[in-house]
Amino acid sequence: MGLTIALGQAPSVPGDLAANLGLATRLVDEAARRGARVLALPELFSCGYDPGSIRTDPDGWSLTAPPAGTAPPRGSPLAPLAAAAAEAGVWVLLGSAVATAGRPHNAVLVIDPYGRARGHYGKTHLWQEERDVFAPGTGLVMIEDGGVTLGIGICYDAGFPELTRAYALAGAHAVLFCSAFATGPTEYRYGVYHPARAVENTVTTLVVNAVGDIAGEHYFGRSGAWNPEGRPLANCPDDVSDLCVVNVSPAETAAVRRGLPYLTDLRTDLLGHAVTPSLTLIGPT
């Protein structure tokens, strides 16, 4: 029993939504053949990670999501991807710039296994120039399937222990980050954040990272997952397109928490209770 998640470490073509969504559609089929119930794609996968270009032309680089609970209409750029998700019975977590009434969100768009758009998670913690391009998100989002709950974050969110802790306290078995970490000064933190968030919250932690060259930066891939003890479960290689498949087991989460009771042993009398954020739970029906 569990939830099988495919980490779609694939390159984006900057600004070419049709090409990127076409690749996402093909990856749905591959994920299904590998037995996955969820396909996750990197940060801003649908347009490529280029905040400067998004700022210059937000309409051309952003997707307009249909009303929550509805399938994209015929002719929509999202329609083929949603149809593939429905045919395969796979959730798609698509990194995208999503249009809003003001600035777009740096978001993960959620498409359910029936091909319906179910809303999106807007990145809570915006990184550097992203603050001039995007509006920050206003709440957390989890999906639930087969009794397994999965929280969603994006890249820089992984550096904030409070976000993963909020998901763990809300009942998440796993937290997934759709990311765009590049080579350079932030690279070493990539290997620190994710296993730390796993063990300190006793949740499986996953990251699907961008790969390839976009807007003068090189993204190294290295997507992976760590179990609730922080031990590695899977790693995609550096610098190549790959699909890593990971199973999230509620039984393993429960067993680890019996031995590592961080969530219940916290001295709330001394340190206080965590703030309860706005949180949306999305199920398959």
The answer, yes or no, to whether residue 65 has pLDDT greater than 80, is: yes
Helix (H, G, I), strand (E, B) or coil at 283: coil
> What is the number of structural domains in the chain?
1
pLDDT single digits (tens) 70-92: 999 999 999 999 999 999 999 99
Q: What is the pLDDT of residue 10?
A: 98
**How far is 249 from 204, CA to CA, in rounded Å?**
9
Two tokens, residue 58: 């937000």
| CB 59 within 8 Å of CB 99 | yes
Q: What is the pLDDT of residue 237?
A: 95
Q: What is the pLDDT of residue 13?
A: 96
pLDDT single digits (tens) 145-183: 999 999 999 999 999 999 999 999 999 999 999 999 999
Length of the chain: 285
Q: Model-level pTM?
A: 0.97
CB-CB neighbours of 42 under 10 Å = 33
Q: What's the mean per-residue pLDDT of the chain?
A: 97
Q: How far apart are the first and last CA of the chain?
A: 19
| CB 224 within 8 Å of CB 206 | yes
Is the C-alpha dihedral spanning 56, 59, 63, 64 positive or negative? positive
Domain range for 135 is 3-282
Give the residue among 234, 230, 233 at the shortest CA–CA distance from 221: 234
CATH of the domain at 262: 3.60.110.10
pLDDT single digits (tens) 206-240: 999 999 999 999 999 999 999 999 999 999 999 99
The answer, yes or no, to whether residue 257 has pLDDT greater than 80, is: yes
CA distances to 60, 149, 205 from 152, rounded to whole Å, are 25, 10, 10
Query: How would residue 50 be classed by pLDDT, with cut points 50, 70 and 90?
Result: very high
Give the residue among 86, 133, 138, 132 at the shortest CA–CA distance from 111: 86
The answer, yes or no, to whether residue 1 has pLDDT greater than 90, is: no
Q: What is the pLDDT of residue 119?
A: 96
In sequence order, the β-bridge partners of residue 38 are 5, 91
**How far is 66 from 195, CA to CA, in rounded Å?**
35
In sequence order, the β-bridge partners of residue 9 are 242
| 101 Cβ contact list (under 8 Å, min separation 6) | none
CB-CB neighbours of 84 under 10 Å = 22
Query: How would residue 285 be classed by pLDDT, with cut points 50, 70 and 90?
Result: confident
Q: Is 227 left (phi over 0), alpha (psi -120 to 50) or beta?
A: beta
The answer, yes or no, to whether residue 12 has pLDDT greater than 80, is: yes
